[in-house]
């Protein structure tokens, strides 16, 4: 059964960029002429203007570089939020950025931050295919991605505290490549809907979904030599409340490379049982809206056949069947029409090749009895707390968590074994050995905001 997405209880009530209010990037017809948006960088736009090919700039793109540089530290948190989103999700709509970070595009501070970042070559701006769009419609069609420049390393990184740098990059190099518009926007939309409507612990992006990390490094296992320098990764990872990692593979086509990747996931599962590594993989088939289904040549059928071949080649053991950990679902099964969700999505149901004679079996990815939590994995739920300081994580999944205090790491690098504190109280001369409580009219000593992770 399908339901209007606005009828489902939400943790973003009234937010102008909640799922029910955002553009639907699958059903709204914005990919009719390919899977990429129309993009412009500052340099590109200036060349078009010089050639007389560009019309009047939109107000949010009219800031000149010198002005933007002079106020680079203004709207600092909004700028870091956007960089954190783009560092992981790569390409997003402006609405998705606002939903991830709990911001409003109508806020003049947000608009100014976006304009300044465009002027400084930190971001490119684009638009989905919406002929004649203006006003609110144009805002809904706006796209954002990191610019192919060195501006992050030259302008932003030197001004960041260590905690801010980690919150933006998750400790990884800030990259500008790998921008696949439709693929990235659909992945981000799926994660936003999961974060808003389903009971999950956290959700992370492609940079946190590396195969070697999910299967090996994160659980203290040795990485096989073949994966040591591999960049093979899922597109996102959803973490259940019991620690199970649901790796998402957004699949818009099936090729030899895609099948090889499925074989590598099956091999990793065979080597790393669910009890030890705690991960499964779901392939979300995102075919064209008007594509046929059920035929032997449909994308859905090709993906299912590829997964069946991978699990037959790498079957695992009787207590660790790879077929039980590799699942497939069609986007249209979860979201059958514009701004609609199905029962299958609410239970996060998918199919795996574990039925009679290798047929399909429907399984809820949220069901701990069908996909049991890891029994031998150390602290499987700790990732939700550690990830709470990362700006890529949907804002509602960061609430109430206890991220690590990274300011201590910075102090240790400067030779302090513990945070420095005053030895004597300046008023009484008495030892002031507790910096966590206030003295007189003075409040308790706290870590400066920009050092908090």
Q: Which residue reads 């006003």 in tokens?
A: 135
E strands, 149-300, in order: 202-204, 236-239, 245-251, 279-285
Rounded Cα distance between 352 and 362, Å, is: 7
pLDDT tens-digit readout, 310-326? 999 999 999 999 999 99
pLDDT tens-digit readout, 158-199? 999 999 999 999 999 998 866 789 999 999 999 999 999 999
Better-predicted residue by pLDDT, 348 or 433: 348
Give the CB-side neighbour count of residue 20, counting CA atoms within 13 A. Answer: 14
Q: Kindly give the interhelix angle for 299-313 and 256-271, rounded to the nearest 10 degrees.
A: 40
Q: Where are the domains of the chain?
A: 11-169, 209-373, 419-453
pLDDT at 44: 78
pLDDT at 91: 95
pLDDT tens-digit readout, 150-162? 999 999 999 999 9
Q: Which residues, 6 or more positions from 67, have their beta carbon under 8 angstroms from its beta carbon?
A: 116, 119
pTM above 0.85, yes or no: yes
Q: Which of 273, 256, 248, 258 is nearest to 371 (CA)?
A: 273
SS3 category, 326:
strand
Distance in Å from the first CA to the final CA of the chain? 42
Q: What is the mean pLDDT of residues 204-220?
A: 93
Residue 255 CB-density burial (10 A; 0-12 exposed, 13-18 middle, 19+ buried): exposed
Q: What is the mean pLDDT of residues 109-138?
A: 83
Instruction: Tell me the C-alpha to C-alpha distance, in Å, between residue 307 and each of 247, 313, 314, 361.
Output: 15, 10, 10, 14
Q: What is the mean pLDDT of residues 62-87?
A: 96
pLDDT tens-digit readout, 9-21? 999 999 999 999 9
């Amino acid at each position: 059964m399908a339901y209007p997405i606005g009828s489902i209880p939400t943790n973003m009530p009234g937010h102008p960029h909640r799922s029910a209010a955002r553009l639907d990037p699958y059903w709204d017809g914005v990919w009719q002429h390919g899977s990429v948006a129309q993009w412009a960088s500052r340099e590109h736009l200036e060349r078009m203007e010089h050639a007389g090919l560009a019309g009047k700039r939109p107000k949010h793109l009219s800031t000149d570089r010198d002005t933007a540089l002079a106020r680079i530290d203004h709207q600092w948190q909004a700028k870091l939020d956007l960089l954190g989103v783009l560092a992981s999700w790569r390409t997003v709509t402006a609405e998705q950025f606002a939903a991830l970070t709990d911001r409003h595009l109508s806020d003049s501070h947000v608009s100014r931050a976006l304009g300044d970042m465009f002027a400084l070559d930190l971001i490119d701006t684009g638009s989905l295919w919406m002929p004649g769009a203006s006003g609110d419609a144009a805002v809904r069609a706006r796209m954002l991605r990191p610019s192919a420049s060195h501006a992050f390393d030259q302008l932003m990184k030197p001004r960041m505290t260590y905690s801010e740098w980690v919150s933006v990059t998750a400790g990884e190099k800030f990259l500008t490549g790998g921008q696949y518009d439709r693929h990235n926007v659909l992945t981000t939309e799926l994660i936003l809907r999961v974060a808003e409507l389903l009971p999950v612990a956290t959700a992370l992006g492609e940079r946190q979904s590396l195969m070697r990390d999910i299967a090996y490094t994160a659980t203290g296992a040795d990485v096989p030599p073949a994966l040591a320098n591999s960049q093979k990764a899922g597109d996102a990872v959803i973490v259940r409340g019991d620690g199970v990692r649901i790796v998402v593979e957004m699949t818009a086509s099936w090729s030899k490379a895609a099948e090889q990747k499925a074989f590598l996931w099956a091999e990793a599962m065979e080597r790393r049982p669910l009890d030890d590594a705690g991960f499964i993989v779901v392939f979300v088939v995102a075919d064209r809206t008007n594509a046929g289904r059920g035929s032997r040549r449909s994308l859905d059928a090709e993906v299912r056949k590829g997964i069946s071949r991978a699990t037959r080649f790498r079957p695992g053991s009787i207590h660790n069947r790879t077929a039980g950990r590799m699942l497939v679902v069609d986007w249209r099964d979860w979201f059958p029409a514009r701004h609609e969700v199905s029962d299958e999505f609410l239970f996060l149901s998918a199919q795996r090749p574990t039925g009679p004679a290798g047929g399909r079996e429907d399984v809820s990815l949220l069901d701990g009895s069908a996909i049991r939590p890891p029994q031998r994995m150390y602290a499987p739920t700790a990732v939700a707390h550690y990830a709470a300081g990362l700006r890529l994580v949907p804002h509602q999944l960061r609430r109430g968590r206890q991220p690590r205090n990274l300011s201590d790491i910075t102090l240790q690098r400067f030779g302090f074994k513990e945070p420095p504190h005053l030895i004597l109280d300046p008023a009484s001369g008495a030892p002031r050995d507790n910096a966590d409580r206030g003295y007189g009219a003075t409040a308790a000593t706290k870590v400066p905001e920009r050092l908090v992770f």
